């Protein structure tokens, strides 16, 4: 594995570990496809948490080792998963009834762009072939809290936290918190509030790599990823 790929893997692991701290014992949580699925690997012992997948699994376990892979047991992103001891299966219709009925305490999703007012774009890039919009549009309106985890900038170095989204929206004003490799940022009625800065970055570096205006919290701290 190249150094770049190793660095990327470590970075994503750190984001997933920080996102785990958003989960409280007793929560029902939907981890979106991609990086959010990693969060299940870091849930602390003693936390009573139920992870839900919109394709019909209530009780997702950690990612499987090679010897544990069951090709029939997948999440909404067609990634193989494990089921917890108390896990249960249902139809997609029942799963979406849970989501639309606002029974999820938290959703941790990936993002392509987030705007200063909490708009989210995470389902398509124009001109790219996609399989469909998935369940994100229901999830961002059904879950009680939405946390987005993503890289702070694109692979080209351009900001992904913007004044306004340029990609097609998944939901308007739905994001509560953004966790990136550089910072933890809250979406408030007054705009974006910088809560935490990751080790290795300065406040100014975070501000310079964010297109949207950032207010710095008076209780700013190191993220401790």
Q: pLDDT digits over 14-61, tens only?
A: 999 999 999 999 999 999 988 999 999 999 999 999 999 999 999 998
Structural domain contains residue 37: yes
Structural domain contains residue 3: no
Q: Is the pLDDT of residue 214 over 50?
A: yes
Q: Is the pLDDT of residue 206 over 50?
A: yes
pLDDT value, residue 110: 96
Task: Provide the residue range defining the domain that includes 178.
Answer: 12-222
pLDDT value, residue 53: 94
Structural domain contains residue 67: yes
Q: Which residue has 């069951």 as its token pair?
A: 70
Mean pLDDT of 129-155: 91
Confidence band, pLDDT 50/70/90 cuts, at residue 6 = low
For residues 132 and 170, give the distance between their C-alpha atoms in angstroms, rounded to a whole number: 12
Structural domain contains residue 183: yes
Q: pLDDT digits over 164-196, tens only?
A: 999 999 999 999 999 999 999 999 999 999 999
Q: For the purposes of burial, counting CB atoms within 10 Å of the CB of 50, is it exposed (0-12), middle (13-18) or buried (19 or more)? A: middle
Structural domain contains residue 82: yes
Q: For the purposes of burial, counting CB atoms within 10 Å of the CB of 190, is it exposed (0-12), middle (13-18) or buried (19 or more)? A: exposed
Count of CA atoms in the C-beta half-sphere (13 A) of 116:
12
CATH of the domain at 51: 3.40.1080.10
Mean pLDDT of 195-219: 96
Q: How far is CA 154 from CA 4, 107, 199, 209, 210, in A?
A: 15, 23, 20, 10, 11
Neighbouring residues of 141: CB distance < 8 A, sequence distance ≥ 6: 171, 174
Of 20, 54, 113, 196, which is the active-site residue?
A: 54
Structural domain contains residue 160: yes
Is 205 an active-site residue?
Answer: no
Structural domain contains residue 141: yes
pLDDT value, residue 112: 97
pLDDT value, residue 17: 96
Confidence band, pLDDT 50/70/90 cuts, at residue 2 = very low
Radius of gyration of the chain (CA): 17
Neighbouring residues of 169: CB distance < 8 A, sequence distance ≥ 6: 119, 120, 121
Structural domain contains residue 1: no
Total domains present in the chain: 1
Q: Tell me the pairing of strands 57-60 and 50-53.
A: antiparallel
């Amino acid at each position: 594995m190249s150094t770049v790929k190793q660095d990327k893997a470590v970075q994503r692991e750190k984001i997933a570990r920080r996102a785990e701290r958003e989960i409280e014992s007793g929560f029902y949580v939907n981890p979106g496809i991609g990086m959010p699925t990693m969060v299940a690997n870091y849930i602390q012992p003693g936390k009573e948490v139920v992870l839900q997948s919109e394709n019909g699994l209530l009780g997702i376990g950690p990612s499987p080792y090679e010897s544990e892979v069951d090709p029939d047991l997948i999440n909404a992103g067609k990634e193989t998963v494990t089921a917890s001891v108390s896990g249960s299966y249902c139809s997609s219709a029942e799963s979406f009834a849970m989501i639309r009925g606002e029974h999820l305490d938290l959703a941790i999703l990936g993002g392509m762009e987030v705007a200063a007012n909490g708009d989210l774009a995470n389902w398509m890039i124009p001109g790219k072939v996609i399989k469909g919009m998935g369940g994100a549009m229901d999830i961002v309106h059904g879950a009680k809290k939405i946390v987005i985890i993503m890289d702070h900038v694109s692979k080209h170095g351009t900001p992904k936290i913007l004044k306004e989204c340029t990609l097609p929206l998944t939901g308007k004003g739905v994001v509560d918190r953004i966790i990136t490799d550089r910072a933890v940022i809250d979406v408030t009625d007054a705009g974006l509030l910088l809560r935490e800065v990751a080790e290795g970055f300065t406040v100014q570096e975070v501000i310079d790599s964010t297109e949207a205006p950032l207010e710095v919290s008076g209780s700013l701290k190191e993220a401790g990823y």
